[in-house]
Structure 1
Amino acid sequence: MYDSSTVRPSAPRRRPWLRLFLTGLVLWLLTVIVTFVTGNPNLVPTLVLLGSFLVPVTFVVWAFGRRHSGEVTAELLFTTFVTGGVLGVLAASLLETYLLHPSPGLFFGVGLIEEAAKLAVLAFLTRRLQHKYATDGLILGASVGFGFAAFESAGYAFTALFTEQGLSLMQLVQTELLRGLLAPVGHGLWTAILGGILFSASGRAHFAFTRRLVLAYVGVSVLHALWDGMHSIALLVTLVLTGTPYQFGLLERGYEPQPTGTQADLFTVLSWGGLIVVSLIGIAWLVAVRRRADQEARAVLWRIPI
């Protein structure tokens, strides 16, 4: 029997997400140019907001067109993006401030806290949905994750503006470009995985906190930690493989040694290579969750066991 809450939106002839992205990109570029030409500090908030929200909002709009249930409305998507993003950032900031201290496990602690905050916010904001389909969980999880990423990126971009040499618009623009490029394989990806698994009790009114969800939470937190700590990991591996006694001696005395050209090249390869590997693992995991979500959707449609 067909579930009336299930919708099968036809593929739109137009691509609103693409128009949104291109329009936002042009506006951001114009803002960059005018800000550099005029040096008007009043344009900085516009620059920060456009650069930080463009990619996350584009991906959320793209995902919205692929929702499974009519219960996932534009209003709910907006709520999960904005409210979920802000609450996630605030909760993570409070917990990290009072629970974490400098240690080898710092990055893993950050991963555990931030993923828990986003997962809790997602569960709270979507608790009233009558049918919790895994496909919708992927979309709503991505929405919370991208909201978190957008507000976090805005903070990083604003902070990058201030340097020892004074205000630096170039540092701000570079930060926004880098975080915009990496946004699709960061918070949005990780929370989408958790959202799909959280909603995996297809068609039920209540969440099922299963062993699979706990394992996924730990796994996503590990990916998060590796992503955040890849700079340090690459630096450590570079020193272990190519470090000289003289460099280790400087480190023991608290000085930072000057890297050789070979070390700089190796560090770059390891850091970017590590980020690519983490991204590929996350994408492969997301694809697997999506395939299982499609199986669950077909099972609900035809009322067959998985």
Structure 2
Amino acid sequence: MADQSLRVPIAAGKRAWIAMLVTGVLVWMLAAGVTALTGDAILIPTLFLIGSFLVPVTVVTFALARLDDCRLTTNVVLKGFLAAGTIGVVVSAVTEIYLLPTGAGPVGNALGFFGVGAIEEVSKGAVLVAVAWRVPQRTVHGGMVLGATVGAGFAAFESTGYAFWAYIQHTNDHPELTILQTEVSRAMLAPFGHLTWTALLGGALFAAAAPPKGGFRVTRRVIWTFLGVSALHGAWDASYGWGIWITQGLTGNGWIADWPDGTYWEGSPTQREQWVFQGTYDGTLAVVALLGVVWVILSWRHARHAATSAPGAGPPINAPDRQP
């Protein structure tokens, strides 16, 4: 029988992300309360960092506890997180400025939303390939976990920028509340955005480079996965404009034959329009998030089935020891 004394530390390590999340939420709430009570602007960066990095760092903690299962190393995981949040974010921003159209209209708006999705997914995919170039054993599960980590790094640094912008816009009007609203919203949505999309892309890239195939290649699965996650990304970004477009159509203001964007409010929306908008906007995000989550689950299960049904394959790496 296997040594049962080893099971508790391993199980506890794999649940460390729960402790990280709970502790982070408590510290975040404490920092927000102290900042609001004292009005000390020195504490504002603390709110930026805790709120923006809490969920992404929790994902990294989750990944670090599963290195053996996914054939990854600590070095690769941490590099992926940091490179995506720094190089990936900067390269994406510069590329979007110089490549995407700035004109309005259906074509310009559509290319803007889906162009951002494509550019950011390319940037994150490039980071993933760069940090995993020398990973000797590439599995689909490993690619998905590393992809989620890369997406987490991108989301963390991007959320910090959004929080800083919210602070600038409301410096003299309860900035702490505005920062919290921005960070809570992005923290709740983070698992269904960058983390999901890059996990899917990472799984496809690792599948194309899994032994005995060798190095990274552009396969049909990689192409279709990239197009799919770019479409999800673009639809996610366009959801706000779609919410306004649908609201104005439903509330009697008329349907506008144009690509929806965030500038269609004519004057201040009424309370009824705000309620309808919130429902349509949340519903659109929920549909896009559900599509991504279902895709991740199916990809994970398919990879597990393929690994266990392959000729000569043994039990899963993290399967319990069933020896008598």
TM-score, length of structure 2 as denominator length: 0.83
* Farther off after superposition, 42-51 or 290-299: 290-299
1:211 counterpart (217, 220, 223): 220
Residue 196 of structure 2 corresponds to residue 189 of structure 1: yes
Residue 225, structure 1, aligned to residue 234, structure 2: yes
CA contact (8 A) 2:91 2:123 kept: yes
Partner of 2:143 in structure 1? Answer: 137
Are 1:120 and 2:126 an aligned pair?
Answer: yes
Answer yes or no: is 1:104 the counterpart of 2:113.
Answer: no
Q: Distance in 2 between matches of 1:114 and 1:24?
A: 28
| Letter aligned with residue 213 of structure 1 | V
- CA shift at 1:163, angstroms? 2.2
Q: Distance in 1 between matches of 2:178 and 2:253?
A: 33
Matched AA of 1:233: W
Conserved? CA contact 1:84–1:147, under 8 Å: yes
Are residues 1:282 and 2:311 paired? Answer: no
Letter in 2 for 1:279: A
1:265 aligned to which of 268, 271, 275: 275
Distance 1:164 1:175, change over 3 A: closer
Q: How does 1:160-199 map to 2 (within 5 A)?
A: 160-163=166-169, 166=172, 168-199=175-206
Structure 2: distance between partners of 1:257 and 1:43: 36
- Pairs aligned (count): 291
Greater shift after overlay, 80-89 or 182-191? 80-89
Identity among equivalent pairs (%): 39
Q: Residues 211 and 70 of structure 1: is their aligned pair in 2 closer, same or farther, counting only changes over 3 Å?
A: closer
CA-atom RMSD in angstroms: 2.5
Tell me the amino acid that sits aligned with residue 117 of structure 1: S
Looking at structure 1, the residues matched to 70 and 124 of structure 2 have their Cα atoms a distance apart, in angstroms, of 23
Give, in whole Å, the separation in 1 of the partners of 2:71 and 2:228.
Answer: 29
In the TM superposition, what is the alpha-carbon distance from 1:241 to its structure 2 partner?
3.1
C-alpha offsets along residues 222-251 of structure 1, whole Å, 9 cap, x if unaligned?
111111110101111222333337x99xxx
Unmatched runs of 5 consecutive residues or more in structure 2: 1-7, 103-107, 258-263, 315-324
> Is residue 64–residue 139 contact of structure 1 (8 Å, CA) maintained in 2?
no
Do 1:52 and 1:154's aligned partners in 2 also have CA atoms closer than 8 Å?
yes
Question: Residue 242 of structure 2 aligns to which amino acid in structure 1?
Answer: I
Q: What is the CA–CA distance in structure 1 between the aligned matches of 2:20 and 2:171, rounded to whole Å? A: 36
**Aligned-residue offset at 1:263:** 2.7
Where 2:11 maps in the other structure, the secondary structure is coil
CA distance in 2, matches of 1:165, 1:22: 29
The superposition leaves residues 59-103 of structure 1 with CA deviations (integer Å, 9 ceiling, x where unpaired) of 221233344557412222111111222111011111011111332
Question: Structure 1 residues 189-198 or 265-274, which shifts more?
Answer: 265-274
Whether contact under 8 Å (1:82, 1:147) holds in the other structure is: yes
TM-score relative to the length of structure 1: 0.87
How far off is 1:120 after superposition? 0.9
User: In the alignment, which residue of structure 1 is the partner of 2:105?
Assistant: none
For structure 1, the residue ranges without an aligned partner over 5 or more in a row are 1-8, 249-253
CA offset at residue 166 of structure 1? 2.5
Please name the residue that 2:51 is paired with. Answer: 51
Which residue is 1:156 aligned to? Answer: 162
Contact 2:200 2:296 in 1 (8 A): yes
More off after superposition, 11-20 vs 219-228: 11-20
SS of alignment partner, residue 207 of structure 2: coil
8 Å contact kept, 2:71–2:142: no
Q: Which moved more, 1:282-291 or 1:60-69?
A: 60-69
